[in-house]
Amino acid sequence: MPRGGKKGHKGRGKQFSNPDEIDRQMKAQRELEAKGGVEKSSSESEEESSSDEDNDSKKKCGVEGLIEIENPNRVSQKNKKVTELDVSAPRELSRREREEIEKQKSKERYMKLHLEGKTDQAKADLARLAIIKKQREDAAKKRDELKKDADDSKGKR
């Protein structure tokens, strides 16, 4: 059976870089950086800003360089520095957070009204409790009367 099963082996074998080759490339890169550092003058920041602008124009490929199009859907990443961040400013709540807060507030309002007896459910509960209270009072009176009758009948014997 061929390598890779019935369908055969796809792709090429992995190629690994030689550590000596990597070291040689890194040394060459360091030497170039060292030479560039010696050649830099005191107007270092001006050269860097101009080189950044050159790199931006070189990065545009194809028609991008010819036509400037403002895409409203494309948001460029703007990195903020830690010093620029305003921690004390109120942050916008997401829709879910706003809905959750509104839900909690409405629940609290309902419970407050319920405890005051102003909601329909509270009124129904209070009416039911009044009926039960009345039934218990009637049952207690009947029990007392039965006890008195039983005591009277025992006392006469």
25-81 pLDDT per residue, tens = 999 999 988 887 655 444 444 444 455 555 555 566 666 666 666 777 777 777 877
* Within-domain flag for 137: yes
What is the phi-psi region of residue 77: left when phi exceeds 0, alpha when psi lies from -120 to 50, beta otherwise?
A: beta
Q: Provide the CB-side half-sphere exposure for 157 (13 A, CA).
A: 5
* Within-domain flag for 124: yes
* Within-domain flag for 144: yes
What is the phi-psi region of residue 11: left when phi exceeds 0, alpha when psi lies from -120 to 50, beta otherwise?
A: left
* Within-domain flag for 123: yes
* Within-domain flag for 67: no
* Within-domain flag for 127: yes
Whether the full predicted model's pTM is greater than 0.75, yes or no, is: no
Range of the domain at 139: 102-156
* Within-domain flag for 130: yes
Task: Give how many domains the chain has, as a whole number.
Answer: 1
* Within-domain flag for 31: no
